[in-house]
Structure 1
Amino acid sequence: MSVDEPNEIRERQLRILEALLFASAEPLSLPEMAPYLGQGPDVRSLVDELQTRYASRGINLVRRGDRWAFRTAEDLGFLLRREEQETRPLSRAALETLAIIAYHQPSTRAEIEEIRGVATGKGTLDLLMEAGWVRMRGRRRTPGRPVTYGTTEAFLDHFGLERLSDLPGLDELKGSGLLSSQIPASMQIPLPFDGSLRDDEDPIDPDDDGDSERAEDE
């Protein structure tokens, strides 16, 4: 092996990663990228190097949960807004439900309704799941075995978050007008749990669409 060969191999691996990430419609995880790179590459090291190379460009390599994707640099996003397809905005009920799930997950439908103070319409959770932002996590080990809901990596990607801990804090929410400045001083934003399952959750059956829970609640 020549002195330059290791560098040539690494450059080829970087080019392969670059091509994979450009071609993929969805963010990719390290295990998904590894098979394309040959035997024994340090995939995370390669991703970190590629991220550094693109840090000052018009597109950046960003992390979304445990996955990676190329996205327009934040300071240039305004240039592409006119190219975005117009979409119907979420209703207030859907926005509130999404926020509750994001901050309080894993949440059951009953817990969402308790926080909102009103019943959650049948279509609200379905709409959020169809958008790909909410998923059924499991079933709570309580009477009725209610479904628990959590956010997805698509939620992180859409809202430009690397991880759930990047969600806005209490001061940021108040500053944006999403929370009243007159809220009690003791109010705290909870720490969401986005692991696979908590101790009080059981895995959900792949064929389970949550209909049994909705039928019981209606």
Structure 2
Amino acid sequence: MPTERSEIAERNLRVLEALLFASSEPLSASQMATYLGEGANVTALLMTLQQRYAPRGVNLVRRADKWAFRTAEDLGFLLRREEQETRPLSRAALETLSIIAYHQPATRAEIEEVRGVATGKGTIDLLMEAGWVRMRGRRRTPGRPVTYGTTDGFLDHFGLESLGDLPGLDELKGSGLLSNRLPPSMQIPLPFEGALRDDEDPLDPDDLDGADEPEEEHE
């Protein structure tokens, strides 16, 4: 017969399952813990739920420090039609997104150094509107330029658990998204996905205006 402990664990698993299915965004363990009994090991419960869903049509996946149900990779072809209807990113946006992902925290000047062409406000705004890029802070250098980094939404959209799952730079260069002439500071993965680095200051209240950005380049 099931013990009281196993019954509580099963109830907690059902609660986690319900929360994850009902949420439109990935949830962190701390967000879900408030709905469980005192002393519940949320991480262990999520791992158990992940194992249970591993052979099913939807899988429980981790995105940074958050969790979500997503279509199993081998059934991704079922969503191909929906993906084809989505407007593809321009080459400028793809290059900019790639550089930010591998070089974050990156300033616009650093992005331009890698691309070899001016990167205007429109390209970065597009990536921010998609929820893949965010302003992180301001670099402690003359002019205090804004630094950019990727979001949890970026990881979720591209099926990555962390930045460590990004393809290697050689593979990225082979795809034609980046020039073979890369600065030596390019590295992967970088550990600054959330907190500010020592050379970054918090954003100013008026940073969302983006008034100091140049006009978009034409490509």
Same fold (TM over 0.5): yes
Cα deviations by residue, 1:162-206 (Å, 9 ceiling, x for unpaired): 0001100134335555467xx479978512332411000011135
Report the CA distance between 1:213 and its aligned residue. 3.3
> Aligned equivalents of 2:73 and 2:130: distance in 1?
23
1:81-105 Cα shifts (integer Å, max 9, x gaps): 2345711111111110000100000
Could you report, residue by residue, the CA deviation over 1:54-86 in whole angstroms, capped at 9, with x for unpaired residues?
Answer: 111111100011100000110111122234571
Deviation at 1:40, TM superposition (A): 1.6
Match of 2:187 in 1: 190
Partner SS state of residue 134, structure 2: strand
Q: Could you tell me which residue of structure 2 aligns to residue 96 of structure 1?
A: 95
SS at match of 2:159: coil
Residues 1:211 and 2:210 aligned together = yes
Residues of 2 paired with 1:106 and 1:49: CA distance?
35
Over 3 Å counting, the alpha-carbon distance change for 1:22 and 1:85 in structure 2 is farther
Match of 1:4?
Answer: 3
Alignment of 1:8-47 (within 5 A): 8-47=7-46
**CA 1:38–1:152 in structure 2 vs 1: closer, same or farther (change >3 Å)?**
same
Residues 64 and 163, structure 1, Cα contact 8 Å, conserved in 2: yes
Q: Return the letter of the residue paired with 2:87.
A: R
Let me know the Cα RMSD of the aligned residues: 2.6
SS at match of 2:112: helix
Structure 1 spans left out of the alignment, 5+ residues: none
Change beyond 3 A, Cα 1:111–1:141: same
Q: Helix, strand or coil: the match of 1:97? A: helix
Greater Cα shift, 208-217 or 16-25 = 208-217
Q: Secondary structure at the match of 2:148?
A: strand
1:100-129, CA deviations, whole angstroms, 9 ceiling, x for partnerless residues?
A: 100000001111111111111221111100
For structure 2, the 5+ residue unaligned runs are none
Aligned length: 215
SS state at 1:36 partner: coil
Amino acid at match of 1:104: H
Counterparts in 2 of 1:85 and 1:71: CA distance versus 1, 3 Å? same
**Residues 132, 10 of structure 1: alpha-carbon distance in 2 compared, 3 angstrom cutoff:** same
Q: Distance in 2 between the 1:66 and 1:94 partners?
A: 26
